[in-house]
Amino acid sequence: MEQPPGFIAQGESGLVCRLRRSLYSLKQSPRAWFSHFSSVVQEFDMFRNTADHSIFYHHNSLGQCIYLVVYVDDIVITGSDQNDIQKLKQHIFTHFQTKDLGKLKYFLEIEIAQSSSGVVLSQRKYALDMLEETGMLDCKPVDTPMDPNVKLIPGQGEPLGDPGRYRRLVGKLNYLTITCPGISFPNKGHTQVIGYTDADWVGSSTDRRSTSEYCVFIGGNLISWNSKKQDVLTRSSAEVEY
């Protein structure tokens, strides 16, 4: 980074300038922008979600709510309080040069179709653009686009002419699985929720009480579990299960 012509005083060419504002391309710029945007939004009594800092929400005394989602400088606002939504928009307009694009139809390469029965998310345009980029727009669809019996050997085949283009395509395909998980080539069924419960009978040697326990898995990952002595004595192995 260099100073523009005319800023360097005679005899002071060895000095540096201290920035008072963030500039594009600096590593600190995204954080500075989000910090400023957050402070402006929170002036409207919006609270930042502790699980996802890009989500802000507001609840009024009538139980109505507003939600704001921001991705870099793209903003989505929704909620049940239309009056406060308009006030929030005006509050943002007074601090930033912002354009209202109306009803949400396209966001982060995702098409949104809203109706009285619900909301449908699609990435059809994103998929068509990808096919056009790779020259496969006129190709016929197949059930399995990859040979399931192929055996890959390290070092076999020709090196890619443009590795960067291949990596970009893989990233786009991964992003496409948001609305089309079937193309992620799973080797088994989709995520399942599995729960196990059990109980021993008079297992405690001190008070002869039984112990109940359970555990719940999602996709093979343990998310909830508990083990506790029962409050009453049981008289049979059948009774202890209930």
Residue pLDDT, tens place only, 138-195: 888 877 667 777 777 788 888 888 889 889 998 998 888 877 776 666 555 667 889 9
Residue among 200, 201, 177 at smallest CA distance from 190:
177
Residue with the larger pLDDT of the pair 203 and 214: 214
Q: Which residues contact 71 (CB under 8 A, 6 or more apart)?
A: 54, 108
CA 191-196-200 angle, 5° bins: 170
Half-sphere exposure at residue 140, Cβ-oriented, CA atoms within 13 angstroms: 2
Asked whether residue 26 carries a pLDDT value surpassing 70, the answer given is yes
Tell me what percent of the residues of the chain surpass a pLDDT of 70.
Answer: 94
The pLDDT assigned to 184 comes to: 67
Tell me what percent of the residues of the chain surpass a pLDDT of 90.
Answer: 27
Mind listing the domains of the chain with CATH numbers? 29-102 (3.30.310), 105-144 (no CATH), 193-240 (no CATH)
Three-class SS of residue 121?
strand
The pLDDT assigned to 186 comes to: 59
Three-class SS of residue 38?
helix
Q: How far apart are CA 209 and CA 235, in angstroms?
A: 10
The pLDDT assigned to 190 comes to: 62
Predicted TM-score of the model (pTM) = 0.59
